[in-house]
Chains A and B, each alone.
Chain A
Amino acid sequence: MGRIMNTRKILYQYGYHRCPDQDRASPARHSVIIVGAGPVGLCTAIDLAQRRIPVVLLDDADRIGEGSRGICYAKRTLEILDRLGVGNLCLEKGVTWKVGKVFQGNDLLYAFDLLPEDGHKMPAFINLQQYYLEHALVERAAALPNLEIRWCNKVVDLKHRNDGATLTVETPEGTYKFDTDWVVAADGARSPLRGMLGLAFQGEAFEDRFLIADVKMKGNFPPERWFWFDPPFHEGHSALLHKQPDDVWRIDLQLGRDANVKAEQAPERVIPRLRQMLGHDNFSLEWVSVYTFQCRRLERFVHGRVVFVGDAAHQVSPFGARGANSGIQDADNLAWKLAIVLKGEAPESLIESYNLERSAAADENIGHSTRSTDFIAPRSAQELRFRDATLALARHASFAKRMVNSGRLSMPSTYDTPLSTPDADSWSGSARLGAPLPDAPLHDQNGRPIWLLDAIGGEETILHVPNGTQPPKGSRVLVIGSDLFDNQGFFAQRFDASPGSTYLVRPDQHLAARWRHGTPSLLESASRRLRGFEGGHA
């Protein structure tokens, strides 16, 4: 990513341990190996382990170091993290924010309020240093008996077969090999596994360089996202200020394409710049690096028994905070599918729907982040004119305000997918076929409050509103009015529910089917369909 190494302070140290696989005469055989313990590999591993699939997670390092990476996590990601057992930790530690301001020069061009709607467990966004998220995930992983993390285990070779792969792993005590039915490649933007399969990673590279600094200070700035075009303290370029926990502030400064990467990171260069921006020098530098950005993806995410997730599959520029957010949504999409394929409850071809659904999501994310980067860092004199014309018009006409693009914040994808059963009835409300369910505050049988998404968890679920007839049968049915109570009416409104309404929810909480009056055969066929049995037929 064009980052220059600084000396990284070790924040969390984990240990290398010799594992029995290293002492076997013939290679062990595992069902799933995940390569890379970044946020995406960790989430995939935890999700699979929660689904009672034994997993081994390999990482070439043995620590989490400091450094500026992801900070913004969006509502859908938080809902997934919550299902994986770290949601509350992230909420408690993170900074919840909802107001963004866009300035041009000294003037406020406009402000937005993400206006979180009432009745959702998770806020629109939190900011949290990526190392805190990773640490929380490692702790969670350690609590799962069927999840083994092997630190200092670097995959150096992959032999791919029709029914799996053989991996060669390098450790401080030499190399060893094992076989596995499936490999999840979560080995990051530089993905050595991509290279081992000879796969191209294609897309656009942006020439502009950006200085990313994390600065510690007790500021009077509110917890808002402030973005400047052409600020007085950094003329002709853009700047971003965003609050993180521990009185740390993320600062992004556009440097232009000719900036000297090395010189720009020197404290004698960085400190005066930041002093100018902040108006004082009562701060200390936590971390400074210079990045260039790319938007690239693999053409396919599934290659036989090797499945790519996160940055290894697709890389975006950080404007709009889509990297880890979309990677964690990959994990959410893949884990349940892999789990039921491994348990023999679904055909192997179900994994192809991961490729389809997350490819479309990657295209959406790459589209948004490319357009934001184009706006923030125009490449030609005319691109700059259009950008500046938009900013100038924004003061006079509301249409131009909507064109100002300082990063469109990550939203979950609505899957247009063969796993969904097309709507036969008409529906209003905010629930959409193929999208994650909107959350809703409910009560359980004991009158205790419970969130809809907590009630659903990670299992395929039928939600049913009674109408006097026999409630539907299925592996798991929740009846509104006897299992869950919609006292405040949020469910009825968001799901456009009426007596008889029945909803089929995927294990990743996306809506797979709904009916005004679901019959057992409709439900059965939709359930087969969501598990990848073609067209829902046997």
Chain B
Amino acid sequence: MTALITESRLADPDRTYRALIEAHRGLSDEDSAALNSRLVLILANHIGEHSVLQEAIALAKQSMEPVEPASE
């Protein structure tokens, strides 16, 4: 069972990020959301492992939690 890889794997992360931006440019929020839904499904299938997807969901959710101010 593979684990979710969180180290960068992209040769050119800026270009990949830019591809996502371009895909959404000019779309309404509704169309963007529809596009993202399709992308998520396609990528989930490509990953092909339920446990990896589950880890990705957990990471995404974790990043939505409010950041605790560092108390020292």
Q: A370: CB under 8 A from chain B?
A: no
Closest Cβ of chain A to B15, distance in Å, is 25
Cβ-defined partner of B37 (8 Å) among A386, A397, A399: A386
Q: Chain B binding site: helix, strand, loop or mixed by DSSP?
A: helix
CB contact between A397 and one of B33, B34, B40, B42 (< 8 Å): that residue? B42
Interface string of B38-68 (1 = CB under 8 A from A): 1011100100000000000000000000000
Interface string of B9-49 (1 = CB under 8 A from A): 00000000000000000000000011001101110010000
* Secondary structure class of chain A's binding surface, majority of residues: helix
Q: Which chain B residue shows the least CB distance to A400?
A: B41
Asked whether A385 lies within 8 Å of B45 as measured between CB atoms, the reply is no
Interface residue? A388 (CB, 8 A) = yes
List A contacts of B42 (CB < 8 A).
393, 397
A389 touches B34 (CB 8 A): yes
Provide 20 A-B residue pairs closer than 8 Å at the C-beta atoms, listed in order of the A residue.
Answer: A381-B33, A382-B33, A385-B34, A385-B37, A386-B37, A386-B40, A386-B41, A388-B37, A389-B37, A389-B38, A389-B40, A389-B41, A390-B41, A392-B38, A393-B41, A393-B42, A397-B45, A399-B45, A400-B45, A403-B41
List, in ascending order, chain A residues with CB within 8 A of B37's CB. Answer: 382, 385-386, 388-389
Q: Which of A385, A390, A392 neighbours the largest number of chain B CB atoms within 10 Å of its CB?
A: A385
- A interface vs B, CB < 8 Å? 381-382, 385-386, 388-390, 392-393, 397, 399-400, 403
CB-nearest residue of chain B relative to A397? B42
CB proximity of B28 to chain A, nearest CB, Å: 13
A392 to B42, CA, bound (A): 12
Total B residues in contact with A, Cβ cutoff 8 Å? 8
What is the bound-complex CA distance between A390 and B42, given in angstroms? 9
Given the complex, which residues of B lie within 8 Å of A403, measured CB to CB? 41
A28 to B33, CA, bound (A): 68
Residues of B in contact with A (beta carbons under 8 Å apart):
33-34, 37-38, 40-42, 45
Query: CA of A382 to CA of B29 in the docked complex: distance in angstroms?
Result: 12
* Least distance between B2 CB and chain A CB atoms (Å): 19
Q: Which residues of the partner chain A approach B38 to less than 8 Å between Cβ atoms?
A: 389, 392-393
6 more A-B residue pairs beyond the given contacts A386-B41, A393-B41, A399-B45, with a C-beta to C-beta distance below 8 A: A381-B33, A385-B37, A388-B34, A389-B40, A392-B38, A393-B42
Cβ contacts under 8 Å, A392 to chain B: 38
* Closest A residue by C-beta to B34: A385
Report the Cα distance A386→B42, complex, angstroms: 11
**Bound CA span A385–B37, Å:** 7
**Minimum C-beta distance from A56 to chain B (A):** 48
A389 to B32, CA, bound (A): 12
How many Å lie between the Cα of A399 and that of B44 in the bound state?
10
Chain B residue nearest to A403 in the complex (CB) = B41
Q: How far is the CA of A483 from the CA of B9 in the complex (A)?
A: 64
CA distance A381 to B36 in the complex (A): 13
Residues of B within 8 A of A390 (CB): 41
Point out the residues of chain B lying under 8 angstroms from A382, CB to CB: 33, 37
The answer to whether B33 touches A385, judged by C-beta atoms less than 8 angstroms apart, is yes
Chain B residues within an 8 Å CB radius of A399: 45
Find the A residue at minimum CB distance from B33. A385
A residues near B41, Cβ cutoff 8 Å? 386, 389-390, 393, 400, 403
Among B33, B40, B41, chain A packs the most CB atoms within 10 A around the CB of B41
Complex CA gap A397/B33 in Å reads: 20
Rounded to whole angstroms, the CA-CA distance of A400 and B43 in the bound complex is: 11
What residues on A are CB-neighbors of B45 within 8 Å?
A: 397, 399-400
Could you tell me the distance between the alpha carbons of A69 and B45 in the complex, rounded to whole angstroms? 37
Instruction: Kindly state the separation between the CA atoms of A382 and B41 in the bound complex, as whole angstroms.
Output: 13
A387 to B, closest residue via Cβ: B37
- A386 vs B38: C-alpha distance in the bound complex, in angstroms? 7
Shortest distance in angstroms between A236's beta carbon and chain B's nearest beta carbon? 15
Please name the 3 residue pairs, one residue from A and one from B, whose CB atoms are nearest each other, closest first.
A389-B37, A399-B45, A385-B37
Q: Which residues of A contact B40 (CB under 8 A)?
A: 386, 389
User: Shortest CB–CB separation between residue B57 and chain A, in angstroms?
Assistant: 13
Chain A residue contacts of B34, Cβ below 8 A:
385, 388-389
Q: Complex formed: what's the CA distance from A386 to B40 in Å?
A: 9
